[in-house]
Amino acid sequence: MIDKESFFKKYNLGDEDLKEAKITWEELEKIYDSYCQLEPRLREVSKDFVDDYLYDIEKAGIHSYRYRTKEPGHLLEKIIRKRREEYQKYREINADNFYKYLTDLIGIRVLFLYREDWINFHRYITSVFENNPELYIQDRLKDYDPDENHYYVAERPKVYKRAGDSRIYDEKLIEIRSDGIYRSLHYIIKYKGYYVEIQGRTLFEEGWSEVDHDIVYPYNKNDVMLKDFSTLLNRLSGMADEMSSYFRRMTEQKKENDR
């Protein structure tokens, strides 16, 4: 059981937000209880995924990884937010089908030392999972595949980048988006009956993202001062990434010259 007042206080929400989302607290309680019963299974699935595909980090082309299942309160907050933003898309979500709508109940973070290393992971993940555009999700309910043994890429891989970032991504391989400051690779994999969201970032970008997510997003995103400081930290992380890439290119050039 989740306490309504504590939930509202933690996530800076109120009854008015539920009205705007057109959902009752009783419906949210049912989803909460259903998710708490499902979460142990999701933990098993996430561990299996990591053991099967990411444990050998060199083979996967990454520096390191970490994984988690979604915190129940975050799940309810996201449902409220999504119904407010895209009501028609999420209007049928309920305690029986929420796992078909939300693709990040299992979240895996893969980290790169250098930004350019994304290509190694992309080649790996699209080689071990079927990547057929005909299987990409369009309708969350109609396109859900109940076959637990069918593993595949469920959305077109995409990357969010900042304007001015180095042109290291190939549009033929990955959808490129830009939203100002957010940098991250995104893959949605259908695995053992559930969706697994994989995000790829550099170590520097991960540091900024963790600070921003803890302090600014999504509960203080209207605080101008916090957003300004977060933007500054983001620029510094971007510069650190660029410098790291320069260091590597200089080292590689030096090796070539010494041959």
pLDDT band at 94 (very low <50, low <70, confident <90, very high): very high
The average pLDDT across 185-205 equals: 93
CA distances from residue 239 to 113, 156, 164, 242 in whole angstroms, order as listed:
14, 28, 11, 5
CA within 13 Å, CB half, 36: 11
Least confident among 101-105, 106-110, 168-172: 168-172
CB 83 within 8 A of CB 91: yes
Mean pLDDT throughout 196-216?
A: 77
pLDDT for 79: 97
pLDDT at 116: 86
- Cα separation, 38 vs 50, in Å, equals 19
Q: Over 90: is that where the pLDDT of 249 sits?
A: no
pLDDT digits (tens, 9 = 90+) for 104-128: 999 999 999 888 889 999 999 999 9
Whether residue 195 is predicted with pLDDT greater than 80 in this model: the reply is: yes
Q: Label residue 46 by pLDDT band (50, 70, 90).
A: very high
**Number of residues written out for the chain:** 259
Q: Predicted confidence band at 144 (pLDDT cuts at 50, 70, 90)? A: very high
How many helices (H) and strands (E) the chain has is answered by 10, 7
Q: What is the pLDDT of residues 3-17, one digit of tens each?
A: 999 999 988 899 999
CA proximity to 48, closest of 135, 147, 149, 144: 149
Percent of the chain with pLDDT over 90: 63
Q: What is the pLDDT of residue 181?
A: 65
Using DSSP's 3-state secondary structure scheme, residue 184 falls into strand
Greater pLDDT, 48 or 164: 48
- 190-199: average pLDDT: 97
- Per-residue pLDDT of 219-232, as tens digits, reads 556 667 767 666 76
User: In the prediction, which pLDDT does 229 show?
Assistant: 67
Structural tokens at position 87: 């009501």
